[in-house]
Structure 1
Amino acid sequence: MPDRHSKPPRIAVVGIPGKWSTEVLADALEARTGFRAVVDMAEVSLDLSRGALICSPPGYGELNLCDLDGIIVKKISAQYSPNTLDRLALLRTAEQAGVRVFSPVASMEGLVNRLHCTLALQHAAIPMPETFITESIDAALDAVTRFGGAVFKPLFSTKARGMLLLDSSDDPTALRNTIETFRSDNPLMYIQRKVELPGRDLGMVFLGGRYLGTYARVNQGDSWNTTINSGGRYAEVQPDPALIELGQRAQAPFNMDFTTVDIAETDCGPIVFEVSAFGGFRGALEGAGVDAAAHYADYALEQLTR
């Protein structure tokens, strides 16, 4: 094991090579330490006999992640799935070897699964949309009737991928068939009452529990959601202190080094949709003027050298 205090820390970025947020974070770390390694978890192998996490990022023949000082997980996979948890589990080997993983693996695991995140938020008394979880088709139909409009959400997804909007006025037979199809891919159905949004929702950015800023995602068309994937755009917003305090409380149970909290303002008061396992850099920069990559790099170095 190398002496981790004899020279600038070596911090790798786990992400998606070529993607802007991954590369800009690697750039920020390289500018501060002279070291650059972008790691695709699909290319990482765990050798239990050696206690090594082996990969070959650009510029290296072979790199053992357990020999590093730190690893920042910007993105563990392109889309969330149960395999995301498997990839996170591999990083426990690095943690056990003394490598500082940002954010801690246990913290990220608690947010990748939508149900686990929801239960933690509910336990912390954070206001959320009315939520119903079931494996029963009949119970799901009853929930749609009761809610009027309902959003069915996969337990593992981001940016509204795989989500389904249903209305109680839909043809009953077609409604049942649609729910059955959804359940074939999502045996445990996560159902929320559709919330009427004022054309936007908010992303609140936190680093080490400290508030950095807030951006809005603004709906640009007739989509029911505001995600950038559905045509939304980022915009600046200045939330009031009470809203910031809500975001602070929502992220607190998860012990994340970097995260965003998705909040919507409704006629009945603000609600929290979710806390992100990884958090977005582009919204922070374009909407809030926050260079999250630079802040995160400085934060990681401070944590490793203090």
Structure 2
Amino acid sequence: MIGTPGKWSTEALADALEKRTGFRQVIDMSQAVLDLEAGTLCCGDVDLCQLDGLILKKIAEDYSPDALDRLEMLRMAQFAGVRIFSPAVNVLRLMDRLACTMTLRSAAIPMPATTITESEHVAHETLDRYGAAVFKPLFSTKARGMLLLESGAEDASQQIAMFRKANPVMYIQKKLDLSGEDLGMVFLNGEYLCTYARVSQNDSWNTTIHSGGKYAPYDPAPELIELGRRAQAPFGLTFTTVDIALTADGPIVFEVSAFGGYSGAQKGCGIDAAALVVDHVLNEVSR
């Protein structure tokens, strides 16, 4: 499996694989070497092109354009006939926030009002129009690098300029009242597993665990489950989480996760997602 050695979710998947097969191999893609002439993709003495299958848990510690290159390298194993769960080309469509957003909007999934621009002037106009907005990097997870601004702030122009310096293409999303929680809806091979809530424990504007939020169980209505199902369907992922929030104007989707919330499924729903994913993968590769 491909992941980050030592990280809980990576090791949980590796443990589940070892328990069922007696084989354990965690691949760190930062150590991978692609030889196009030889047709190999090696990490140490393991050629990924010779394996029966790969579980893709994490391609890099942080989302970045470099992570996209690692996914492109991983396609060599796909060309060689190795089954990858989720397929590298499918995950490619999720790493960039804008690519994910465009796919969701093309599928008529309700999302917050969003503007994309490289113009600081347009960004300032957008902020005034939204009243409050979250400026989001195109490559980030757990709200890292995001900037919350309110219209009329004295230093808004300076903050926008600083954000644009690090993010030339600015992704600006209207801030909505989430009432202190949002939801993670979990799917395995397109089938609904469970939903957990991320509940804020402080005055942070976001509910991520990284910012102090806590997991809690949540029982969604059937129509909410159907929204989550429609949101994840275009991406064809083995395991994923759909981020959903309930607003005064109805539910909206923020994004679909490239790798899914294993910790949220366990701590919020009591479900061992790693075991379920491994069972699914082993069933698929043994056919």
Name the TM-score class by shorter chain. over 0.9
Corresponding residue for residue 193 of structure 1: 174
Alignment of 1:54-133 (within 5 A): 54-56=42-44, 62-133=45-116
Alignment of 1:218-229 (within 5 A): 218-229=199-210
Corresponding residue for residue 262 of structure 1: 243
How much has 1:305 moved relative to structure 2? Answer: 1.4
Corresponding residue for residue 7 of structure 1: none
Q: 2:226 aligns with which of 224, 235, 245?
A: 245
Q: 1:52 aligns with which of 31, 40, 63?
A: 40
For 2:138, what is the secondary structure of its paired residue? coil
1:28 aligns with 2:16: yes
For 1:14, what is the secondary structure of its paired residue? coil
Alignment of 1:163-174 (within 5 A): 163-171=146-154, 174=155
In structure 2, give the amino acid aligned to 1:203: G
- Distance, in Å, in 1 between the alignment partners of 2:208 and 2:62 is 15
- Distance, in Å, in 2 between the alignment partners of 1:236 and 1:242 is 18
- Distance, in Å, in 2 between the alignment partners of 1:211 and 1:305 is 23
How much has 1:134 moved relative to structure 2? Answer: 0.3
How much has 1:86 moved relative to structure 2? Answer: 0.4
For 2:195, what is the secondary structure of its paired residue? strand
In structure 2, give the amino acid aligned to 1:284: A
1:293 aligns with 2:274: yes
- Distance, in Å, in 2 between the alignment partners of 1:281 and 1:122 is 26
Q: 2:162 aligns with which of 178, 181, 190?
A: 181
In structure 2, give the amino acid aligned to 1:120: T
Runs of at least 5 residues in structure 1 that lack an aligned partner in the other structure: 1-12, 57-61
How much has 1:292 moved relative to structure 2? Answer: 0.5
- Distance, in Å, in 2 between the alignment partners of 1:305 and 1:179 is 53
- Distance, in Å, in 1 between the alignment partners of 2:179 and 2:203 is 13
In structure 2, give the amino acid aligned to 1:28: A
Q: CA RMSD in A?
A: 0.6
1:207 aligns with 2:188: yes
Runs (4+) of structure 1 exceeding 3 A deviation are: none
1:161 aligns with 2:161: no
TM-score, normalisation: structure 2 = 0.99
- Distance, in Å, in 2 between the alignment partners of 1:25 and 1:232 is 24
How much has 1:169 moved relative to structure 2? Answer: 2.2
- Distance, in Å, in 2 between the alignment partners of 1:253 and 1:260 is 13
How much has 1:199 moved relative to structure 2? Answer: 1.0
- Distance, in Å, in 2 between the alignment partners of 1:119 and 1:47 is 33
Identity across the alignment (%):
61
How much has 1:28 moved relative to structure 2? Answer: 0.4
- Distance, in Å, in 2 between the alignment partners of 1:24 and 1:255 is 23
- Distance, in Å, in 2 between the alignment partners of 1:47 and 1:35 is 26
Corresponding residue for residue 6 of structure 1: none
How much has 1:82 moved relative to structure 2? Answer: 0.4
For 1:126, what is the secondary structure of its paired residue? coil
- Distance, in Å, in 2 between the alignment partners of 1:103 and 1:299 is 12
1:304 aligns with 2:285: yes
Q: 1:284 aligns with which of 262, 265, 281?
A: 265
Aligned residues: 287
TM-score, normalisation: structure 1 = 0.93
Alignment of 1:132-151 (within 5 A): 132-151=115-134
- Distance, in Å, in 2 between the alignment partners of 1:122 and 1:303 is 31
- Distance, in Å, in 1 between the alignment partners of 2:270 and 2:250 is 26
